[in-house]
Amino acid sequence: MNHLLHRNTLVTGTVLLTTAGLLSRVIGFFYKIFLSRTIGAEGLGIYQLLFPVMALCFSLTSAGIQTAISKCVAEESGVPTPARARLYLYCGLLFSVSLSLLLGVFLWNYATWISAFFLGDLRCAPLLRILAFSYIPCSIHSCINGYYYGLKKSLVPSLSQLAEQCARVGGVYLIYLILQEKGMGITVSAAVLGIFFGEFAGMLVSLSAMGCGKWEGSISSSAKALLQMAFPVTANRLFLTLFSGVENLLIPRQLRLFGYTQKEALSIYGILTGMALSVILFPTVLTNSVSVLLLPTISQAKASHNTARNHRAVRATVECCLALGLLCTVMLLLSGSFIGNRIFKNSLSGTFILTLSWICPFLYLGSTLNSIFHGLGKPLTTLLLNLSACGIRILFIFFLIPTVGIRGYLTGLLVSQIVSCSAALFLLYRCAS
């Protein structure tokens, strides 16, 4: 009976998150098409340059704390005192909001320096200052989402996700209409303002659903338990984000060594990351939903020493991710050219989609395996696997792009995912045995 209840909770939660994620991805997909046609490939490339900074800031302020809240709440949820679980949320909010405030001030003051020395384009400076206001609302709704993930209740995170995406797209489209009436064109700044609108809307939905509630327990012990989990996960995400940031910043620079101008390099980068990868990553809405709910499920089963339930959950998840990946590979091979030529109006994006379609089984499985290792209390394993994958991609970027162009990076993506997934499956098999 307990097995069925846990299974139903996981399935229901996955369906809710997948539905919300699917709607968000559909909206986001057409949003990317809208941006590609309004701000152009170069503008999209500048917009995508901000994402390594965004990911780094999120890693520092929210990612590890959200995961820690989810794990601690899941382990506490068996006790008939939900007030103890709520204390983890309050401690997490204090840590996350404080870090977000400090980071926002830093980003505002050093935006020009970051743009010049790290992003390689001074046009990013005003965009980073707009972005600085996004992290406090982001940290608040991320922590609240982590709390509900730990309880395996996904309605609030689902509504928050939908509100975030709708506000982001709706806000930018409203700016576009206003500027059109004045005879002006939309800029990258509007797209970055959309990020702030989205995070603020997500925060409002989360806070309204959460409300205020009593808490009980020791603040010091709860904070200690939270930090013990948050620190390695944050370190994991931080190192991974730094390596990914280096990876993303190197691509335009190495493309210039191949012979492209700055504008051409940014355009290719924008087509790859803003168009092709948005299609490749579309099905991760399902695997991500499974991942966020699988972590507390495995944590809870581990805490109660229910090894059999863990094995069943892991095996079923791996099989489903592989099946989804293979199905998507076939579908993208058949439709890649059509998507590029007819939807994005860009033949190069179609070429990228066809090439990257082979990565799907390994890419979708990878995020789920990361969540499994976190649930088993092995964040170091995840860190080493991800760093090795990033290292492989950086080597391909550094040595192959100057000689064969963007094909060098596409090859590196495929090789890195195959190596990482194979190693993860091997380590997981050893843990199980």
Residues 371-394 have a mean pLDDT of 82
Residues 398-406 have a mean pLDDT of 91
Give yes or no for a contact between 24 and 162, defined as CB atoms under 8 angstroms apart: yes
User: What is the pLDDT, as a whole number, of residue 2?
Assistant: 42
Residue 427 clears pLDDT 80, i.e. is over it: yes
**Stated pTM of the model:** 0.70
Q: Confidence band (pLDDT; 50, 70, 90) for 246?
A: confident
Q: Confidence band (pLDDT; 50, 70, 90) for 3?
A: very low
User: What is the pLDDT, as a whole number, of residue 32?
Assistant: 80
Q: Which of 307 and 220 is assigned the larger pLDDT?
A: 220
Q: Rounding to the nearest 10 degrees, give the CA dihedral for residues 83, 87, 92, 94.
A: 120
Extract the tokens encoding 259.
């012979």
Mean pLDDT of the chain: 82
Extract the tokens encoding 423.
């190693």
Give yes or no for a contact between 385 and 418, defined as CB atoms under 8 angstroms apart: no
Give yes or no for a contact between 244 and 390, defined as CB atoms under 8 angstroms apart: yes
Buried b (16+ CB within 10 A) or exposed e, 234-253: bebbbbbbbbbbbbbbbbbb
Q: List the Cα angle 43/48/52 in 5-degree steps.
A: 150
With tokens 């339930």, the residue in question is: 309
Buried b (16+ CB within 10 A) or exposed e, 55-75: bbbbbbbbbbbbbbbbbbbbb
Extract the tokens encoding 355.
């090439």
In the chain, what are the domain boundaries?
2-432
Q: Confidence band (pLDDT; 50, 70, 90) for 26?
A: confident
Q: Confidence band (pLDDT; 50, 70, 90) for 310?
A: low
Distances (CA, A) of 138 to 55, 164, 169, 183: 12, 10, 17, 33
Query: Which of these, 114, 103, 3, 105, lies nearest to 57 by C-alpha position?
Result: 103
Least confident of 10-19, 112-121, 162-171, 297-306: 297-306
Which amino acid does the sequence have at 46?
I
Residue 135 CB coordination number (10 Å): 27
Q: Confidence band (pLDDT; 50, 70, 90) for 4?
A: very low
Residues 354-376 have a mean pLDDT of 83
Distance CA 187, CA 169 (A): 14
Distance CA 335, CA 342 (A): 10
The separation between the first and the last C-alpha atoms of the chain, rounded to the nearest angstrom, is 26
Q: Confidence band (pLDDT; 50, 70, 90) for 117?
A: confident
Distance CA 354, CA 28 (A): 21
On the 0-12 / 13-18 / 19+ scale of CB atoms within 10 A, 310 is buried
Summarised one tens digit per residue, pLDDT across range 48-60 is 888 888 888 888 8
Distance CA 277, CA 293 (A): 24
Least confident of 11-15, 54-58, 245-249, 378-382: 11-15
Summarised one tens digit per residue, pLDDT across range 63-104 is 788 888 888 887 775 554 567 778 888 889 999 999 999 999
Q: Which of 433 and 203 is assigned the larger pLDDT?
A: 203
Summarised one tens digit per residue, pLDDT across range 326-340 is 998 999 999 999 988
User: What is the pLDDT, as a whole number, of residue 5?
Assistant: 41
Give yes or no for a contact between 297 and 152, defined as CB atoms under 8 angstroms apart: yes
User: What is the pLDDT, as a whole number, of residue 332?
Assistant: 92
Give yes or no for a contact between 67 and 146, defined as CB atoms under 8 angstroms apart: yes
Rg of the chain on CA atoms, in Å: 21
Give me the DSSP letters along 291-303: HHHHHHHHHHHHH
Distance CA 142, CA 325 (A): 28
Helix (H, G, I), strand (E, B) or coil at 185: coil
Residues 135-158 have a mean pLDDT of 88
Three-state helix/strand/coil letters over 240-304: HHHHHHHHHHHHHHHHHHHCCCHHHHHHHHHHHHHHHHHHHCCCHHHHHHHHHHHHHHHHHHHHC
Residues 155-168 have a mean pLDDT of 89
Summarised one tens digit per residue, pLDDT across range 166-224 is 999 999 999 999 988 888 878 888 989 999 999 999 999 999 887 666 776 677 877 88
User: What is the pLDDT, as a whole number, of residue 266?
Assistant: 81
Extract the tokens encoding 20.
């919300």
With tokens 């400076």, the residue in question is: 125
